[in-house]
Structure 1
Amino acid sequence: MNRPHDTHRPCPLWRRLAALVYDLLAVVAIVMVVGLLSQLATGGHLVATGARTAIAWWYQPLQGLVVGAYFVISWLRGGQTLGMRPWRIRLVAADGGKLRPAQALRRVVVAALPLLLLGLAPWLGLRGAVWAVLVGWAAWFAPALFDRRRRALHDVAAATELRRIA
Protein backbone atom coordinates (compact mmCIF):
# COMPACT_ATOMS: atom_id res chain seq x y z
CA MET A 1 0.00 0.00 0.00
CA ASN A 2 1.36 3.41 -0.95
CA ARG A 3 1.62 6.22 1.52
CA PRO A 4 -0.45 9.26 0.51
CA HIS A 5 2.63 11.36 -0.28
CA ASP A 6 4.42 8.70 -2.35
CA THR A 7 4.36 9.01 -6.09
CA HIS A 8 5.15 6.63 -8.88
CA ARG A 9 8.01 8.80 -10.12
CA PRO A 10 11.22 6.78 -10.16
CA CYS A 11 14.27 8.25 -8.50
CA PRO A 12 16.96 9.42 -10.94
CA LEU A 13 20.45 7.97 -10.55
CA TRP A 14 22.06 11.28 -9.56
CA ARG A 15 19.63 11.65 -6.64
CA ARG A 16 20.23 8.14 -5.33
CA LEU A 17 24.01 8.65 -5.55
CA ALA A 18 23.72 11.94 -3.65
CA ALA A 19 21.76 10.12 -0.93
CA LEU A 20 24.46 7.45 -0.88
CA VAL A 21 27.11 10.12 -0.20
CA TYR A 22 25.06 11.28 2.81
CA ASP A 23 24.75 7.67 3.98
CA LEU A 24 28.51 7.30 3.69
CA LEU A 25 28.81 9.81 6.54
CA ALA A 26 26.51 7.69 8.72
CA VAL A 27 28.43 4.53 7.78
CA VAL A 28 31.77 6.13 8.73
CA ALA A 29 30.32 7.08 12.12
CA ILE A 30 28.97 3.54 12.64
CA VAL A 31 32.34 2.00 11.70
CA MET A 32 34.13 4.33 14.10
CA VAL A 33 31.83 3.43 17.02
CA VAL A 34 32.10 -0.31 16.33
CA GLY A 35 35.89 0.08 16.08
CA LEU A 36 36.05 1.91 19.41
CA LEU A 37 33.84 -0.66 21.14
CA SER A 38 35.92 -3.49 19.65
CA GLN A 39 39.14 -1.88 20.87
CA LEU A 40 37.67 -1.48 24.35
CA ALA A 41 36.41 -5.08 24.38
CA THR A 42 39.82 -6.46 23.41
CA GLY A 43 41.80 -4.21 25.73
CA GLY A 44 43.39 -2.47 22.77
CA HIS A 45 44.53 -5.72 21.10
CA LEU A 46 42.16 -5.67 18.13
CA VAL A 47 45.15 -5.24 15.81
CA ALA A 48 48.27 -7.29 16.44
CA THR A 49 51.48 -5.70 15.23
CA GLY A 50 54.88 -7.18 14.86
CA ALA A 51 56.53 -8.88 11.91
CA ARG A 52 53.07 -9.05 10.36
CA THR A 53 50.03 -6.89 11.13
CA ALA A 54 46.85 -8.87 11.78
CA ILE A 55 43.31 -7.81 12.61
CA ALA A 56 41.08 -10.05 14.73
CA TRP A 57 39.26 -12.49 12.41
CA TRP A 58 35.81 -11.41 13.63
CA TYR A 59 36.27 -7.65 13.23
CA GLN A 60 35.52 -7.19 9.51
CA PRO A 61 32.47 -9.53 9.52
CA LEU A 62 31.19 -7.62 12.55
CA GLN A 63 31.58 -4.30 10.72
CA GLY A 64 29.76 -5.74 7.70
CA LEU A 65 26.88 -7.01 9.84
CA VAL A 66 26.46 -3.71 11.67
CA VAL A 67 26.58 -1.59 8.49
CA GLY A 68 24.21 -4.00 6.73
CA ALA A 69 21.85 -3.82 9.72
CA TYR A 70 21.83 -0.01 9.46
CA PHE A 71 20.52 -0.22 5.89
CA VAL A 72 18.08 -3.09 6.44
CA ILE A 73 16.57 -1.58 9.60
CA SER A 74 16.29 1.87 8.00
CA TRP A 75 14.54 0.47 4.93
CA LEU A 76 12.13 -1.61 6.99
CA ARG A 77 11.27 1.23 9.39
CA GLY A 78 9.96 3.62 6.75
CA GLY A 79 11.81 2.91 3.53
CA GLN A 80 14.47 5.56 4.09
CA THR A 81 18.01 5.81 5.38
CA LEU A 82 19.34 9.05 6.82
CA GLY A 83 20.75 9.94 3.40
CA MET A 84 17.47 9.29 1.58
CA ARG A 85 15.45 11.70 3.72
CA PRO A 86 16.86 15.05 2.55
CA TRP A 87 16.75 13.85 -1.06
CA ARG A 88 13.09 12.85 -0.63
CA ILE A 89 13.32 9.29 -1.88
CA ARG A 90 11.84 6.09 -0.48
CA LEU A 91 12.52 2.41 -1.08
CA VAL A 92 9.42 0.34 -1.86
CA ALA A 93 8.66 -3.11 -3.18
CA ALA A 94 8.38 -3.21 -6.99
CA ASP A 95 4.58 -3.38 -6.69
CA GLY A 96 4.59 -0.19 -4.60
CA GLY A 97 3.90 -2.04 -1.36
CA LYS A 98 5.84 -2.23 1.85
CA LEU A 99 9.28 -3.78 1.76
CA ARG A 100 9.58 -7.30 3.21
CA PRO A 101 12.58 -8.26 5.37
CA ALA A 102 13.79 -10.82 2.79
CA GLN A 103 13.81 -8.12 0.11
CA ALA A 104 15.79 -5.71 2.29
CA LEU A 105 18.31 -8.42 3.15
CA ARG A 106 18.68 -9.51 -0.48
CA ARG A 107 19.12 -5.91 -1.59
CA VAL A 108 21.90 -5.16 0.92
CA VAL A 109 23.73 -8.43 0.14
CA VAL A 110 23.60 -7.93 -3.63
CA ALA A 111 24.62 -4.26 -3.29
CA ALA A 112 27.64 -5.30 -1.21
CA LEU A 113 28.87 -8.04 -3.58
CA PRO A 114 31.43 -5.80 -5.34
CA LEU A 115 33.24 -5.54 -1.98
CA LEU A 116 34.39 -9.13 -2.57
CA LEU A 117 36.71 -7.68 -5.21
CA LEU A 118 38.85 -6.36 -2.35
CA GLY A 119 40.09 -9.95 -2.18
CA LEU A 120 42.08 -9.19 -5.33
CA ALA A 121 44.41 -6.92 -3.32
CA PRO A 122 47.25 -9.48 -3.11
CA TRP A 123 47.42 -9.51 -6.93
CA LEU A 124 46.29 -6.00 -7.85
CA GLY A 125 47.50 -4.12 -4.80
CA LEU A 126 45.13 -2.17 -2.57
CA ARG A 127 44.70 0.66 -5.08
CA GLY A 128 43.84 -1.76 -7.88
CA ALA A 129 41.38 -3.67 -5.69
CA VAL A 130 39.62 -0.44 -4.65
CA TRP A 131 39.33 0.52 -8.34
CA ALA A 132 37.90 -2.93 -9.05
CA VAL A 133 35.23 -2.35 -6.39
CA LEU A 134 34.38 1.06 -7.85
CA VAL A 135 34.08 -0.41 -11.34
CA GLY A 136 31.92 -3.19 -9.90
CA TRP A 137 29.59 -0.67 -8.30
CA ALA A 138 29.45 1.34 -11.52
CA ALA A 139 28.31 -1.84 -13.26
CA TRP A 140 25.74 -2.41 -10.48
CA PHE A 141 24.27 1.09 -10.94
CA ALA A 142 24.53 1.25 -14.75
CA PRO A 143 21.12 -0.38 -15.37
CA ALA A 144 19.51 2.59 -13.57
CA LEU A 145 20.54 4.76 -16.51
CA PHE A 146 18.49 2.70 -18.97
CA ASP A 147 15.74 1.02 -16.98
CA ARG A 148 12.34 2.69 -17.29
CA ARG A 149 11.88 2.48 -13.49
CA ARG A 150 15.51 3.53 -12.84
CA ARG A 151 16.36 0.32 -10.98
CA ALA A 152 19.95 -0.66 -10.22
CA LEU A 153 21.03 -4.31 -10.25
CA HIS A 154 20.36 -4.77 -6.53
CA ASP A 155 16.84 -3.36 -7.03
CA VAL A 156 16.17 -5.85 -9.80
CA ALA A 157 17.50 -8.72 -7.67
CA ALA A 158 15.38 -7.72 -4.65
CA ALA A 159 12.27 -6.61 -6.60
CA THR A 160 12.49 -3.10 -5.17
CA GLU A 161 12.67 0.43 -6.50
CA LEU A 162 13.40 3.92 -5.29
CA ARG A 163 10.67 6.51 -5.73
CA ARG A 164 10.67 10.25 -5.34
CA ILE A 165 8.45 11.61 -2.59
CA ALA A 166 6.24 14.54 -3.56
Structure 2
Amino acid sequence: MSTMTLPAPAWRRFAAIVYDVLAVVAIVMVVGLIAQVATGGHVADSKGHVVAWWYQPLQAAVVGAYFLLSWLRGGQTLGMRPWKIRVVSREGGPVGVKQGLVRLVVAGLPVLLLMLYRVTSLQVALWAPVVGWAVILLPSLVDARHRGLHDMAARTEIHAYLN
Protein backbone atom coordinates (compact mmCIF):
# COMPACT_ATOMS: atom_id res chain seq x y z
CA MET A 1 0.00 0.00 0.00
CA SER A 2 1.33 3.47 -0.82
CA THR A 3 1.76 6.22 1.72
CA MET A 4 0.01 9.46 0.80
CA THR A 5 1.54 12.86 1.45
CA LEU A 6 -0.37 16.08 1.21
CA PRO A 7 0.07 18.31 -0.69
CA ALA A 8 1.99 17.41 -3.81
CA PRO A 9 4.74 19.92 -4.49
CA ALA A 10 3.95 22.46 -7.19
CA TRP A 11 7.00 21.42 -9.23
CA ARG A 12 5.58 17.90 -9.61
CA ARG A 13 2.28 19.32 -10.85
CA PHE A 14 4.04 21.48 -13.42
CA ALA A 15 6.26 18.58 -14.55
CA ALA A 16 3.14 16.45 -15.04
CA ILE A 17 1.58 19.24 -17.11
CA VAL A 18 4.58 19.19 -19.45
CA TYR A 19 4.19 15.43 -19.93
CA ASP A 20 0.43 15.78 -20.45
CA VAL A 21 0.96 18.44 -23.12
CA LEU A 22 2.89 15.81 -25.07
CA ALA A 23 0.05 13.31 -24.60
CA VAL A 24 -2.53 15.88 -25.75
CA VAL A 25 -0.48 16.71 -28.85
CA ALA A 26 -0.38 13.02 -29.72
CA ILE A 27 -4.15 12.67 -29.16
CA VAL A 28 -4.87 15.71 -31.35
CA MET A 29 -2.63 14.33 -34.09
CA VAL A 30 -4.35 10.92 -34.07
CA VAL A 31 -7.84 12.47 -34.10
CA GLY A 32 -6.70 14.77 -36.91
CA LEU A 33 -5.42 11.83 -38.93
CA ILE A 34 -8.67 9.92 -38.43
CA ALA A 35 -10.67 13.02 -39.43
CA GLN A 36 -8.55 13.48 -42.57
CA VAL A 37 -9.09 9.84 -43.55
CA ALA A 38 -12.84 10.08 -42.81
CA THR A 39 -13.24 13.19 -45.00
CA GLY A 40 -10.87 12.17 -47.76
CA GLY A 41 -8.52 14.97 -46.73
CA HIS A 42 -11.17 17.70 -46.66
CA VAL A 43 -11.18 18.75 -42.99
CA ALA A 44 -9.66 22.08 -44.04
CA ASP A 45 -9.77 24.13 -47.22
CA SER A 46 -6.72 25.16 -49.26
CA LYS A 47 -6.14 28.16 -46.97
CA GLY A 48 -6.06 25.98 -43.85
CA HIS A 49 -9.49 27.00 -42.54
CA VAL A 50 -11.39 24.16 -40.88
CA VAL A 51 -14.53 23.43 -42.90
CA ALA A 52 -15.81 20.35 -41.08
CA TRP A 53 -18.08 21.81 -38.38
CA TRP A 54 -17.61 18.74 -36.17
CA TYR A 55 -13.79 18.67 -36.18
CA GLN A 56 -12.98 21.07 -33.33
CA PRO A 57 -15.79 19.81 -31.06
CA LEU A 58 -14.53 16.27 -31.70
CA GLN A 59 -10.98 17.28 -30.74
CA ALA A 60 -12.28 18.91 -27.54
CA ALA A 61 -14.41 15.89 -26.67
CA VAL A 62 -11.56 13.41 -27.14
CA VAL A 63 -9.05 15.49 -25.16
CA GLY A 64 -11.65 16.10 -22.44
CA ALA A 65 -12.42 12.38 -22.30
CA TYR A 66 -8.70 11.62 -21.88
CA PHE A 67 -8.50 13.80 -18.77
CA LEU A 68 -11.88 12.86 -17.30
CA LEU A 69 -11.41 9.11 -17.72
CA SER A 70 -7.87 9.33 -16.35
CA TRP A 71 -9.07 11.13 -13.23
CA LEU A 72 -12.00 8.75 -12.73
CA ARG A 73 -9.95 5.58 -13.29
CA GLY A 74 -7.13 5.80 -10.78
CA GLY A 75 -6.82 9.58 -10.51
CA GLN A 76 -3.83 9.85 -12.82
CA THR A 77 -3.14 11.03 -16.35
CA LEU A 78 -0.12 9.71 -18.21
CA GLY A 79 1.79 12.82 -17.15
CA MET A 80 1.02 12.31 -13.46
CA ARG A 81 2.27 8.73 -13.25
CA PRO A 82 6.04 9.27 -13.43
CA TRP A 83 5.78 12.09 -10.89
CA LYS A 84 3.76 9.93 -8.48
CA ILE A 85 0.87 12.31 -8.05
CA ARG A 86 -2.86 11.67 -8.20
CA VAL A 87 -6.10 13.65 -8.15
CA VAL A 88 -8.28 12.79 -5.17
CA SER A 89 -11.40 14.19 -3.57
CA ARG A 90 -10.92 16.58 -0.68
CA GLU A 91 -11.52 13.64 1.66
CA GLY A 92 -8.73 11.65 -0.02
CA GLY A 93 -10.95 9.23 -1.94
CA PRO A 94 -11.50 8.75 -5.66
CA VAL A 95 -12.75 11.62 -7.78
CA GLY A 96 -16.46 11.42 -8.63
CA VAL A 97 -17.99 12.14 -12.02
CA LYS A 98 -19.37 15.53 -10.94
CA GLN A 99 -16.02 16.54 -9.46
CA GLY A 100 -14.21 15.42 -12.58
CA LEU A 101 -16.57 17.35 -14.83
CA VAL A 102 -16.26 20.54 -12.75
CA ARG A 103 -12.47 20.21 -12.75
CA LEU A 104 -12.46 19.64 -16.52
CA VAL A 105 -14.74 22.58 -17.31
CA VAL A 106 -12.84 25.06 -15.12
CA ALA A 107 -9.44 23.86 -16.36
CA GLY A 108 -10.71 23.96 -19.95
CA LEU A 109 -12.10 27.51 -19.86
CA PRO A 110 -8.88 29.10 -21.18
CA VAL A 111 -9.32 27.15 -24.43
CA LEU A 112 -12.21 29.51 -25.20
CA LEU A 113 -9.64 32.31 -25.41
CA LEU A 114 -8.50 30.82 -28.71
CA MET A 115 -11.52 32.55 -30.23
CA LEU A 116 -9.61 35.81 -29.84
CA TYR A 117 -7.96 35.03 -33.19
CA ARG A 118 -11.07 36.51 -34.84
CA VAL A 119 -10.41 39.94 -33.31
CA THR A 120 -6.66 39.91 -32.78
CA SER A 121 -3.55 38.20 -34.07
CA LEU A 122 -3.00 34.46 -34.06
CA GLN A 123 -0.01 34.96 -31.77
CA VAL A 124 -2.16 36.69 -29.13
CA ALA A 125 -4.86 34.03 -29.48
CA LEU A 126 -2.33 31.23 -28.94
CA TRP A 127 -0.78 32.85 -25.86
CA ALA A 128 -4.14 33.77 -24.28
CA PRO A 129 -4.94 30.22 -23.06
CA VAL A 130 -1.42 29.91 -21.62
CA VAL A 131 -2.04 33.07 -19.59
CA GLY A 132 -5.47 31.72 -18.60
CA TRP A 133 -3.95 28.47 -17.34
CA ALA A 134 -1.31 30.42 -15.43
CA VAL A 135 -4.11 32.31 -13.67
CA ILE A 136 -5.89 29.03 -12.85
CA LEU A 137 -2.68 27.48 -11.49
CA LEU A 138 -1.31 30.55 -9.70
CA PRO A 139 -3.15 29.85 -6.42
CA SER A 140 -1.37 26.47 -6.21
CA LEU A 141 1.84 28.37 -5.44
CA VAL A 142 0.37 30.04 -2.33
CA ASP A 143 -2.48 27.78 -1.21
CA ALA A 144 -1.60 25.61 1.81
CA ARG A 145 -2.82 22.50 -0.05
CA HIS A 146 -1.40 23.62 -3.43
CA ARG A 147 -4.80 23.72 -5.12
CA GLY A 148 -5.42 25.51 -8.38
CA LEU A 149 -8.74 27.21 -9.08
CA HIS A 150 -10.00 24.07 -10.84
CA ASP A 151 -9.22 22.00 -7.72
CA MET A 152 -10.92 24.54 -5.47
CA ALA A 153 -14.04 24.56 -7.65
CA ALA A 154 -14.17 20.75 -7.90
CA ARG A 155 -13.21 20.12 -4.26
CA THR A 156 -10.24 18.02 -5.34
CA GLU A 157 -6.57 17.95 -4.40
CA ILE A 158 -3.35 16.58 -5.80
CA HIS A 159 -1.61 14.07 -3.53
CA ALA A 160 1.93 12.82 -3.85
CA TYR A 161 2.56 9.23 -2.91
CA LEU A 162 5.53 7.02 -2.19
CA ASN A 163 5.77 3.36 -3.09
Cα distance between partner residues in 1 of 2:22 and 2:128: 22
The one-letter code matched in structure 2 to 1:22 is Y
Task: Give runs of aligned pairs for residues 33-112 of structure 1, distance below 5 A.
Answer: 33-49=30-46, 53-112=49-108
The runs of 4+ residues in structure 1 deviating greater than 6 Å are none
Partner Cα separation in structure 1 for residue 37 and residue 54 of structure 2: 15
Question: Equivalent residue of 2:120, what SS?
Answer: helix
Is 1:92–1:98's contact at 8 Å kept on the other side of the alignment? yes
Shift of 1:62: 0.3
Query: Which of 120, 133, 155 lines up with 1:159 in the alignment?
Result: 155
**Are 1:16 and 1:84, in contact at CA under 8 Å, matched by a contact in 2?**
yes
Unaligned runs of 5+ in 1: none
Which deviates the most, 85-94 or 20-29? Answer: 20-29
2:46 matches 1:31: no
CA–CA distance in structure 2, aligned partners of residues 90 and 6 of structure 1: 12
Counterparts in 2 of 1:6 and 1:90: CA distance versus 1, 3 Å: farther
**8 A contact 1:6–1:163 mirrored in 2:** no
* TM, length-normalised to structure 2: 0.94
Q: 1:124, CA displacement in angstroms?
A: 2.2
Root mean square deviation of aligned Cα: 1.4
Which 5+ residue runs of structure 2 have no aligned equivalent?
A: none
User: 1:6, CA displacement in angstroms?
Assistant: 4.1
Structure 1 SS opposite 2:83: coil
Instruction: Report the equivalent of 1:18.
Output: 15
Instruction: Find the aligned partners of 1:133 and 1:102 in 2 and give their Cα distance.
Output: 24
2: CA distance, partners of 1:113 / 1:53: 23
TM-score (norm 1): 0.92
Q: How far does the alpha carbon of each residue in 1:31-84 deviate from its partner, in whole angstroms, 9 at most, with x for none?
A: 11111111111111111226x834311101100000010011111110111110
